[in-house]
A and B are shown apart, each in its own frame.
Chain A
C-alpha cells in the first residue's frame, strides 16, 4: 500500500510520513513545554513582576553592598546598605521612589503615610520601620528631607535614603528587580511595591503597593 504512493506527490503522505510528523510534533511540543515551564516558573507566573516576587519569596535575597546616604546631620557619612539595615534590629518595609513623582509613588507615599500613622497608633515603632530609597539621581539629600517633612515622616519610624553612586544605584535596582523607565514630563514609570526586609538585611518578600495591610502583617511576622 505504502509503496504505491509516489514520493513525488507530497499531498499524499504515507503512513510513515504521518508517524514521522507526529513524532516531530510531539518533540516540538515537548521542547515548547520545557521552555514555557522555564519562562512561567513552573506555570505559576506570566509577568516578570510576578516572577520577581515569587523568586524572592522562595529564596530571600541578600541586598548588595551599596553605599547609601541619609538626610539629616546625625548620619552624614554614607554607609553600606546591608550594614545600615543590620544596625537596626527591626525588619524594614523598603520602597523605591523619586521625589518628583506624581503617579504611582505619590499613591505609595500616601499609603506609607497612613502606614506610619497605623504604626504609631498601634505602638509598633519598636517592631518595624519604613525605609524609602530614591532611584532618581536628581534627588539631593535636601530634596529627600523636604519630601520627608512634607510627608510628616517621623525619623524614628520612616527614613529616606539615596544611593549617590550611579553604578551602585543601578546594581541595587538590578539586584532587586526594579526597572525604571523614563516617561514624559521628566517622570519615570517603575514597578512599585513594598519590599519586606529582614533584620539581617535580606529581602524576604515583595507585597503589592495596593496592599499596605499585607505588607505590615508580613513585616510584623519577621519582628520579634
Chain B
C-alpha cells in the first residue's frame, strides 16, 4: 500500500509537471503546427494518463466506479476516436490559437482522454483494443498523408512546410503507436493461442 501510494505520488507529480509545461510553454509550442500537434497535444494526454494512474492507485474505489460507466473500456476508447478526430480538423486546431474557450476545451478533452485511457485499456479485450486503436492509427496516418499532399495551407497560422512536417509526424506517430501496441499485446495473444491449442 505504501509503495503504491509512493508510486501514485510520482505519477501525480509528473502529471502536474507535464500539464504545467504544456500550459506555460503554450506560445512556443503552438507557434509551430508540428510542435502543437505532435508534442503539445500528446503532452496533455500523457499528463492526463499519469493523473489517471495516480488516482487509480490512490483511490481504487473511484476506478471501480469508473468501470461501471466504461464496460469493456469502450467509453474511453470511443473518446479516443472522437477527441483525436476533432483536433485533427485544421479549423478546430486553429481555433485553439484564437479562442480561449477552444484552448480550454483542448486541454480538457485531451486530459480526459489520457485520464480514461489506462483504465479503459485494461478493461478492453484485445479485439476491442484492436478495433479502436486500429481506427485511431489509420485515421491519424490518413490525416498525416493528407497534410503532406495538400498543395495549399490548411491553417492560416502555419506554413506549408510546417504542415508537411506535421503530416510526417502524424504518420510516424501512428506507426509508432501501432508497433508499441503489438509489442505490448502480442505475447498475450500468443499465450492465448497456445492455451487454446
Q: How far is the CB of A92 from chain B (nearest CB, A)?
A: 23
Closest to A189 in B: B159
> Chain B contacts of A25 at CB under 8 A?
74-75, 78
Would you call A166 an interface residue if the criterion is a C-beta within 8 Å of the partner chain's C-beta atoms?
no
| Bound-state Cα–Cα, A17 to B65, Å | 10
Asked whether A29 and B78 contact (CB < 8 A) given A7-B64, A10-B123, A47-B90, the answer is yes
- B30 an interface residue at 8 Å Cβ cutoff? no
Q: B158 — nearest CB in chain A belongs to which residue?
A: A181
B125 contacts across to A, CB distance below 8 A: 11
A28 part of interface (Cβ distance < 8 Å): yes
Q: Which residues of B have CB within 8 Å of A46?
A: 89-91, 154
Contact of B156 among A17, A24, A49, A183 (CB under 8 A): A49
Specify which chain A residues have a CB less than 8 angstroms from the CB of B91 in the assembled complex.
39-41, 45-48, 50-51
Contact A17 B68 (CB under 8 A): yes
Q: Are B86 and A13 in contact (CB under 8 A)?
A: no
Contacts of B83 in A (CB 8 A): 32
> Does residue A36 face the partner (Cβ distance < 8 Å to B)?
yes
Q: Find residues 33-50 in chain B having any chain A CB closer than 8 Å to their own CB.
A: none
Chain B contacts of A8 at CB under 8 A?
Answer: 64
CB within 8 A of A48: which of B69, B78, B94, B123?
A: B94
Interface centre among A21, A49, A51, A189 (most CB of B within 10 A): A21
Bits for B89-101, please: 1 = Cβ < 8 Å to A, else 0: 1111011000000
Q: Which residue of B lies closest to A52 (CB)?
A: B156
Distance in angstroms between the alpha carbons of A39 and B71 in the assembled complex: 30
Give the docked Cα–Cα distance between A52 and B160 (Å). Answer: 19
Contact, CB under 8 Å: A35 / B68: no
Cβ-closest chain A residue relative to B78: A25
Decide yes or no whether A191 CB sits under 8 A from chain B. Answer: yes
Spell out B's residues near A (CB within 8 Å): 64, 67-72, 74-75, 78-79, 82-83, 85-86, 89-92, 94-95, 105, 123, 125, 152-160
What A residues does B69 contact at CB under 8 A? 17, 20-21, 24
Task: Give A26's nearest chain B residue, CB to CB.
Answer: B78
> Can you list 8 pairs linking A and B with CB atoms under 8 Å apart?
A13-B72, A18-B71, A21-B70, A29-B78, A40-B89, A48-B90, A48-B95, A179-B156
Q: Compute how far the CA of A125 lies from the CA of B60 in the bound complex, rounded to whole angstroms.
A: 77
Contact yes or no, A17 B89, CB < 8 A: no
Residue of B nearest to A179 (CB): B156
B residues within 8 A CB of A21?
A: 69-72, 74-75
Contacts of B155 in A (CB 8 A): 47-48
- In angstroms, Cα B156 to Cα A177, docked, is 9
How far, in whole Å, are A191 and B23 apart by their CA atoms in the complex? 28
Q: Mark A27-45, 1 if CB is under 8 A from B, else 0.
A: 0110010011001110001
Q: State in angstroms the CA–CA spacing of A35 and B96 once bound together.
A: 13
- A36 and B92 contact, CB distance less than 8 A: yes
Q: Lowest 3 CB-CB distances: which A-B pairs, in order? A: A13-B71, A179-B156, A39-B92
**Quick check: B123 and A11 within 8 Å, CB to CB?**
yes
The residues of B that contact A17 with a CB separation of less than 8 Å are 67-69, 71
Render A47-69 as a binary contact track against B, CB cut-off 8 A, 1 for contact: 11111100000000000000000
For B152, list chain A residues within 8 Å (CB).
49
Contact (A191, B123) CB under 8 Å given A28-B79, A29-B82, A35-B105: no
- The distance in angstroms between the C-alpha atoms of A20 and B71, with both chains bound, is 8
Kindly identify, within residues 189 to 212 of chain A, every residue whose CB is under 8 Å from any CB belonging to chain B: 189, 191
Closest Cβ of chain A to B62, distance in Å, is 13
Nearest chain A residue, comparing its CB with the CB of B94: A48
Residue of A nearest to B89 (CB): A39
Among B83, B152, B153, B156: residue with most chain A CB under 10 A: B156
